[in-house]
C-alpha cells in the first residue's frame, strides 16, 4: 500500500508469501513523516492566505473565492511559498487531498460536513455473513445517493469505530465531507445516508443517527479549516480487523474538484 494512503493495515491483510508482502513499519514511518510535513505546509499556506487577505483589505479589493490563493503586487514579497514550491498532486496524502476539497468548497460556500452512525442490525448482518463492512457501506451509500439523483455529488468519508481519543471502541460510523451548491442537495444526502445506514431505526432515531451541517471554520483560528479533516482522519492509523486495509472513500468527482483547485494554487492549470 502506498504511504499516501492513510488507512492502517497489517500483514494479515495481504495475500501471498511473507517475502512478497510489503514492509509495513518503514511505510508507517514514511507516512508519519509525510503527514507531519503536510501539516507544516498547511501552516505556511494559511499564513500566506492571511497575508493576501490583509493586502486585499488594505487596497480595498473585493474578497472573491480563491483570491487569497494568488499573490498580488503587494503580497508577493511577504508570502512564504511560491506556486512552484508546492508539492505535486500525485505526491500528497489522502488527508491532504481531502483538505484541498474542503478548502475550495469553503471558498465558495458549498461545503457540508456529515456524520452517519451505522445501524447495529446492519453491522451484525454483515458480520454474520462475513462480508466486508467498508465495501457494504460504500455500496449502500452509492446506491441510495443514486436513487436520490445525487450520484455525482463530490463526497469523501472515513469509517471509524473509536472514540475521539482513540483509546476506546465505539459503534461504527462515518465522518465525511460533501460539496454541493444547493442546500437542497445536502438534504437529499441526509435522506440517502439515513436510508443507507440507519435502517431498522424509527423515524426519530434515523434523523438523529445522521447529521449533515454546513461546513465552518472558527474565526481567528489559523488552522481552522484543517480541524474537521484532522478530526475525521484521527483514527485512520489505528488498525481494526473489521475494516481491513481500507477505510477511506473519496469519490472521483471529489478528486476532480480538489485536483483542479490544487492546480489553481500551483498555477499549473494550463500545463495540466
User: pLDDT grade, residue 33 (50/70/90)?
Assistant: very high
pLDDT digits (tens, 9 = 90+) for 120-139: 889 889 888 888 888 999 99
Question: At residue 245, what are phi and psi to the nearest 5 degrees?
Answer: -95, 5
Indicate if the pLDDT at residue 35 is higher than 70.
yes
Establish how many alpha carbons lie within 13 A of residue 89's alpha carbon, considering only the half-sphere containing its beta carbon: 19
Look up residue 238 and give its DSSP letter: S
| Placement of cell 475550495 in the chain | 104
Identify the pLDDT of residue 270.
43
Task: Decide: residue 48, CB within 10 A, 0-12 exposed, 13-18 middle, 19+ buried.
Answer: buried
Grid cell digits, residue 61? 479589493
Nearest-angstrom CA–CA distance, 177 and 213: 10
User: pLDDT grade, residue 15 (50/70/90)?
Assistant: low
- Evaluate whether 155 touches 251 at the Cβ level (below 8 Å): yes
Return the closest-CA partner of residue 13 out of 239, 263, 257, 181: 239
Helix-then-strand count for the chain, H and E: 8, 5
Indicate if the pLDDT at residue 9 is higher than 70.
no
**SS3 of residue 106 by DSSP:** helix
Statement: the pTM of the whole predicted model exceeds 0.75 = yes
Indicate if the pLDDT at residue 24 is higher than 50.
yes
Amino acid at each position: 500500500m502506498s504511504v499516501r494512503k492513510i488507512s492502517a493495515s497489517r500483514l494479515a491483510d495481504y495475500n501471498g508469501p511473507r517475502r512478497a508482502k510489503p514492509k509495513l513499519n518503514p511505510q508507517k514511518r514514511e507516512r508519519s513523516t509525510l503527514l507531519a510535513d503536510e501539516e507544516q505546509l498547511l501552516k505556511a499556506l494559511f499564513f500566506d492566505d492571511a497575508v493576501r487577505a490583509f493586502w486585499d483589505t488594505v487596497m480595498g479589493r473585493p474578497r472573491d473565492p480563491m483570491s487569497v490563493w494568488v499573490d498580488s503586487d503587494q503580497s508577493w514579497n511577504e508570502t512564504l511559498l511560491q506556486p512552484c514550491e508546492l508539492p505535486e498532486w500525485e505526491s500528497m496524502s489522502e488527508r491532504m487531498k481531502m483538505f484541498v476539497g474542503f478548502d475550495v468548497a469553503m471558498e465558495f460556500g458549498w461545503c457540508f460536513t456529515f456524520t452517519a452512525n451505522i445501524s447495529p442490525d446492519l453491522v451484525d448482518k454483515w458480520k454474520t455473513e462475513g462480508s466486508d463492512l467498508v465495501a457494504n457501506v460504500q455500496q449502500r451509500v452509492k446506491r441510495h445517493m443514486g436513487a436520490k439523483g445525487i450520484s455525482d455529488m463530490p463526497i469523501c468519508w472515513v469509517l471509524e469505530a473509536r472514540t475521539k481519543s482513540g483509546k476506546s471502541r465505539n459503534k461504527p460510523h462515518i465522518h465525511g465531507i460533501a460539496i454541493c451548491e444547493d442546500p437542497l442537495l445536502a438534504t437529499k444526502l441526509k435522506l440517502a445516508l439515513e436510508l443507507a445506514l440507519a435502517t431498522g431505526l424509527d423515524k426519530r432515531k434515523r434523523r438523529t443517527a445522521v447529521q449533515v451541517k454546513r461546513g465552518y471554520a472558527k474565526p481567528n483560528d489559523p488552522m481552522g479549516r484543517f480541524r474537521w479533516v484532522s478530526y475525521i482522519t484521527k483514527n485512520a492509523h489505528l488498525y481494526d480487523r473489521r475494516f481491513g486495509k481500507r477505510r477511506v472513500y473519496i469519490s472521483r468527482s471529489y478528486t476532480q474538484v480538489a485536483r483542479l483547485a490544487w492546480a489553481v494554487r500551483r498555477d499549473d492549470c494550463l500545463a495540466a
